[in-house]
Amino acid sequence: MKVTKDIHELILAYLQDDISEEEMSRLREWLAESERHQRLLEELRDKDVLQREIGEYASFDTSRRWAQLEKVMGKPSGKRSSLLQVWGAVAAVVVAFVGGLVYWQMVGLSQPEKEQVTIARIEPGETRAVLITEKGRQVLLQGLKDTCFNITGDDTLNIREDGSLKYSLSVHSSLLSSMPEWHTLRIPKGGEYKIVLDDGTEIWLNSASELKYPSHFVGNERRVQLTGEAYFQVARNEAAPFIVETRGMDVKVLGTSFNVSVYEDEESCHTTLVEGEVEVADKVNGKKVVLTPGTQTLLQGKEMTVRKVNTKLYTLWRLDRFTFASEDMEGVIRKLSRWYNVEFFFANASRKQKRFTGSLPKYSDISQVLKMIEMTTDIKFQLKENTIIIQ
């Protein structure tokens, strides 16, 4: 679809929440043509950006900017610089077209006689956790960087520059005076955390998750216990297999990368293998299967199955995206609820079964994320106090 003033007007109508169903359908068609179009609209939804651009672009000639926009949008997608060029052209057109009206309606200036209502922003999760020692001592891990402390005698805990927690022995392994303490790392809703165990194994923990582990490993196995979701990059040690123990299955590895999801509020749990090899043992039926890269065990009730999957759908959460492929809306909402630590309510129960496919930015304000879902479905969201109503 060629970029015209008609599309510009649709974008403006959408940003002002004054768009009809027919217009929304046409805008969706334009968005479906290119991921660049979607990213463009995502940028335009940022009111702070629009406010900054008004002073710079308000005096530019509108028709000339439309010509520039058509020229840029007609080029094949390339590096990020191309996106920035497009953004500059679009921002210029939007601001020049509506002038002071955009500033008044889009940036939040209201008519003098009307009281301005401020709605609290629902921010995304952040790096935070609570460390609980075997003796019950609790350490809040939030905002700590580049520091270390000792709480067990034999083990040193280092908070690295990136905010992650790293264990290391403070004495030679042959001089250890006692068996290791078991620690618990608890991640609340609206949190995430990375930990490096004393063997070099790296673990990324998702929101509302809990990991129990020894402060250092001894013996012929390395065993941890997981509730929730975690991504593992296990340091190889053939003499001491690494075992992830969960409520329904145990995952045994020598050295590999994989994801495990075992939330208590989920009907199913799964292990997804990215590289290497793992053995998954079904605790209910005693069944054992060996996974190869790109496969997943799915445990639903008493039945465990193996299937091929796109591993990115189950691992990108540890980076900067939530990715879904025809996932029911109830599952999507559970993930968003954990990450943003906010309650959702389905006003219409049939919406739970609606399917959603797409990639959502993990660190954006929730209003932008919900807008993206609205753009590709007929679902609407409404914020009431601290609850988001799904209509």
Q: Are 330 and 300 a contacting pair, CB within 8 Å?
A: no
The CA radius of gyration of the chain, in Å to the nearest whole number, is 25
Structure tokens at 388: 């988001």
Q: Max alpha carbon distance in the chain (Å)? A: 78
Q: Are 274 and 293 a contacting pair, CB within 8 Å?
A: yes
Q: Whose CA is closest to 353, among 327, 376, 374?
A: 327
C-alpha count within 13 angstroms, C-beta hemisphere, residue 276? 19
pTM: 0.70
Q: Is 343 helix (H, G, I), strand (E, B) or coil?
A: strand
For 320-390, which CATH class?
A: alpha beta
For 227-315, which CATH class?
A: mainly beta
What pLDDT does residue 144 have?
Answer: 80
What pLDDT does residue 305 have?
Answer: 93
Q: Are 141 and 193 a contacting pair, CB within 8 Å?
A: yes
Per-residue pLDDT of the chain (391 residues; tens, 9 = 90+): 444 446 767 777 777 667 787 788 888 888 877 767 776 776 666 544 444 443 333 333 444 444 555 555 555 544 444 444 545 555 544 444 443 333 334 434 343 433 333 345 788 999 999 999 988 889 899 888 878 877 766 778 889 888 899 988 766 655 555 678 899 999 999 999 999 999 999 999 999 999 999 988 988 999 999 999 999 999 999 899 999 999 989 999 988 999 999 999 898 999 999 999 999 999 888 889 999 999 999 998 888 999 999 999 999 999 888 999 999 999 999 999 999 999 999 998 999 999 999 889 999 989 889 999 998 888 999 988 779 999 8
CATH 3.55.50.30 domain residues, the chain:
320-390
In angstroms, rounded to a whole number, what is the distance separating the alpha carbons of residues 55 and 33?
31
The shares of helix, strand and coil residues in the chain, as percent rounded to the nearest 5, are 30, 35, 35
Q: Whose CA is closest to 273, among 311, 305, 300?
A: 311
**Phi, psi at 299, each rounded to 5°:** -110, 110
Q: Whose CA is closest to 314, among 342, 333, 295, 291?
A: 295
191-194-197-203 Cα dihedral, nearest 10 degrees = 100
C-alpha count within 13 angstroms, C-beta hemisphere, residue 320? 2
Structure tokens at 20: 């009809």
CA angle 144, 147, 150 (to 5 degrees): 110
CA distances from 57 to 6, 42, 50, 53, 125 (A): 20, 19, 10, 6, 34
CATH 2.60.120.1440 domain residues, the chain:
227-315
In angstroms, rounded to a whole number, what is the distance separating the alpha carbons of residues 77 and 297?
37
